[in-house]
Amino acid sequence: MKIFDLNNRVDGSIKDDLLSGVTVALALVPEAVAFAFVAGISPIIGLYGAFLMGFITSIFGGRPGMISGATGAMAVVMVNLVSEGSEIGGSDFAGLQYLFVTLILAGIIQIGAGVLRLGKFVRMIPHSVMMGFVNGLAIVIFISQLGMFKSQGEWLTGSSLWIMIGLVLATMAIMFVLPKITVKIPAALTAIVIVSCIVIFGNLETETVRSFIQANGGTGIKAGFPSFSIPLIPFNIESLVFIFPYALILAAIGLIESLMTLNLIDELTQNHGSGNRECAAQGLGNIVNGFFGGMGGCAMIGQSIINIKSGGRGRLSGIIASLSLLMFILFGSALIEQVPIAALVGVMFMVVIGTFEWSTFKILNKVPIADIVVILIVTALTVIFDLAIAVFTGVIVSSLVFAWENAKRIRARKNIDVHGVKHYEIYGPLFFGSIELFNSKFDISNDPDEVIINFKESRIMDQSAIECINKLTERYLKMNKRVHLRHLSSDCVKLIKKAEKICEVNILEDPDYFVAIDDYRKAQAALKAQ
């Protein structure tokens, strides 16, 4: 995959990328402004962040067609960072400087994750966690849009409410019907243009981008090009101790949300991006934000889905989206500020409908109860707390369930041969969770003087299993009984005490276990060492 192959795609066209990019840019404006207010910073910093993140990750990222920008998941962490930084520095300006330098450190951590190829660990996230994440995120997007039904902190009522609802439904209707007629015109962009014209020429009184910004203390989206500057904070150990935890959290949230969004877009497009490359691109984007005065961010699932559904498949779509956003900031503010909020809310509601995994309701009685519990936990935690906590919790719960289920699978087939030797044939993985059940299979006091334990159908998984075998063989030896361990890998043999007396290793008869050895020569050397 070439870095500068702007038309990198498996379907779609340049026209689709251009139109989709403009659509995404329109949807980015209120989102960036809203998240900036969540973080307690100026709207223009949120808009700069969306532009810089989108532009850099579109060029260097691991997933053509994926959109990055300012996000709520990171904004909720930034608000405390900016607040505490302002207290330490004695001014709001100081709080911003701490934010910018933290973004630089977070970006370095993210690049490190890409260099160390940690992006592959997203594959270890179970599907139940992914479903919970997607459902939770859909609910979060839906709830965030409900705030648009307020004016100056009060819920809309009367005609203002009905106009808002009518415009939202009109937007959704256009987006639903138009693709059934033609797919050559982006439904989201068409809906925004039509509803905007209805409001402007119909002289309807409703919330627009301009009134939304003004209601939240801003003056508009018009500004100059972001300029380079080095964050001004005391460069000492105290500053590092303060910003490092925030940098680590922001880096983790950004990577988790970006990699999971990448995974979701992979499923939608039926082709695969590079997680490690995306980690590095996200890091570069946040570093640039730190030096150019943006709020940073990560991948945006809502805007990414808008882009994909509108036909955006190549890197060009993300580049157009970010450049269009910059044009809005520099030259098109007067026009964009007339777009009704209702049109953008309608677009996001359709994203919610497309994002939510409605199949969850169909599988409730078809999958293990543990998976249902994980889905519900991750969904709830995503809504109540944030994505990072939800995913970490979901992975931990899934891992514990997996360990418990495998712990019950250890079993032993027992028989005594014609020579009076007792054989234990072990089946299933031996690890920390199954050692108690494993020990219960042996009758040491009543076993004959010769015992063979065969691990051909078992696997030694961890150090707990090694110590378990050590203690078991010691108990046999204390009763002057000869015990033989067969079909252990040579690496396990080296860790078993008194292995030269009790282990009979035959790797060649156990080719499935050969993967534990680097190559055939190592296997032969291990055999000769016995």
Domain boundaries, the chain: 14-151+219-341+354-398, 408-529
Contacts of 276 (CB under 8 A, 6+ apart): 62, 114, 115, 117, 118, 119, 120
Tokens 């599907």 locate to 127
pLDDT of residue 368: 87
> Whole-angstrom Cα distance, residue 275 to residue 392?
18
Nearest to 494 by CA among 458, 514, 523: 523
Nearest to 232 by CA among 342, 85, 107: 85
Long-range Cβ contacts of 6-10 (<8 Å, 24+ apart): 6/314, 6/315, 6/316, 6/319, 7/314, 7/315, 7/316, 8/64, 8/314, 8/315, 9/64, 9/65, 9/313, 9/314, 10/269, 10/270, 10/271, 10/313
Tokens linked to 74: 């990171």
Nearest to 78 by CA among 387, 233, 296: 296
Give buried/exposed letters for 327-359 (b at 16+ CB in 10 A, else e): ebbeebbeebbebbbbbbbbbbbbbbebbbbee
3-state secondary structure 323-359: HHHHHHHHCCHHHHCCCEHHHHHHHHHHHHHHHCCHH
Nearest to 442 by CA among 428, 460, 467, 424: 424
Nearest to 486 by CA among 466, 506, 471: 506
pLDDT in tens, 389-445: 888 898 899 988 888 888 888 899 999 988 899 999 999 888 889 999 999 999 999
CB 306 within 8 A of CB 27: yes
Tokens 């955006």 locate to 312
> Whole-angstrom Cα distance, residue 285 to residue 111?
10
Q: ∠13-17-21 over CA atoms, to 5°?
A: 170
Output the CA–CA distances (angstroms, integers) from residue 93 to 32, 84, 88, 232, 453, in the order listed: 20, 12, 11, 9, 70
pTM of this structure: 0.69
pLDDT of residue 53: 96
Tokens linked to 221: 């989206």
pLDDT of residue 523: 44
Q: Per CATH, is 408-529 categorized as 3.40.630.30?
A: no
Nearest to 410 by CA among 425, 392, 397, 423: 425
> Whole-angstrom Cα distance, residue 428 to residue 232?
59
Contacts of 68 (CB under 8 A, 6+ apart): 53, 54, 57, 58, 61, 258, 282, 285, 297, 298, 299, 300, 318
Residues in the chain predicted with pLDDT less than 50, given as ranges, are 1-4, 9, 504-524, 527
Tokens linked to 320: 């157009």
Contacts of 105 (CB under 8 A, 6+ apart): 243, 244, 247
Dihedral over Cα of 486, 489, 493, 495: its sign: negative
Widest Cα–Cα separation across the chain: 100
Tokens linked to 478: 């204390």
pLDDT of residue 240: 92
Helix, strand, coil % over all residues of the chain, rounded to 5:
65, 10, 25
Residues in the chain: 530
CB 426 within 8 A of CB 458: yes
pLDDT in tens, 184-210: 777 777 888 899 999 999 999 898 888
pLDDT of residue 2: 46
